[in-house]
A = this chain, B = another copy of it.
Amino acid sequence: MQTTNSSVEEDMFQVRKLEIMDKNKGFIELLQQLTVCDSISHEAFIERFHELANCGDEHVICVIEDCNSGMIVATGSVFIEKKFIRNCGKVGHIEDVVVDSVVRGKQLGKRIVDFLSDHARAMGCYKMILDCSVENIPFYEKCGFKKKEIQMVKYYV
């Protein structure tokens, strides 16, 4: 019975906000699958964690913990930008979404994006945006996003 199996499997994964102990559960190693992310000292992690925690609901990092292994297997973040346009509107910016390559194909990325999307909506945002590579467009389309503009970047050297 596929439905039952799927349901049981889903319960193995807990979707929640980042906690300070997640550094010991592979959170940084997971980010290393996304981009350049050197090891972070315990002190630097704690400091950044508290800086973000001080932002409260304005900046939220979502994680998924594999309850069997106790490891963090997916993450993504959203921060809320306050504008003057759109009647003092707010926009949710999604960043740094990654799913552990070992557990891809289980809709964990969609669960992360849905969590962040629900949060941005609850915060009163009129839209949510993100930037992604061309190959990730189909994934975000499945999450309800549409192509809009071009991302431009300038690196400081």
Q: Which residues of A contact B (CB under 8 A)?
A: 27-28, 31, 34-38, 40, 44-45, 47-48, 51-52, 59, 77, 79, 81-88, 93, 95-96, 117, 120-121, 125-134, 137, 140-141, 143-156
Task: Kindly state the separation between the CA atoms of A127 and B35 in the bound complex, as whole angstroms.
Answer: 14
Distance in angstroms from A16 CB to nearest chain B CB is 17
Supposing A137-B152, A150-B131 touch, asked if A96 and B88 sit within 8 A by C-beta, the answer is: no
Closest to A151 in B: B149
A-B pairs with beta carbons under 8 Å apart, 16 shown: A36-B86, A44-B88, A47-B88, A51-B82, A81-B93, A120-B156, A127-B153, A127-B155, A129-B152, A132-B149, A133-B149, A133-B150, A137-B150, A145-B152, A148-B153, A149-B151
- Copies of this chain, count: 2
Task: Kindly state the separation between the CA atoms of A121 and B131 in the bound complex, as whole angstroms.
Answer: 21
Contact A87 B38 (CB under 8 A): yes
Supposing A131-B129, A131-B131 touch, asked if A48 and B84 sit within 8 A by C-beta, the answer is: yes
Contact A84 B40 (CB under 8 A): yes
Contact A117 B154 (CB under 8 A): yes
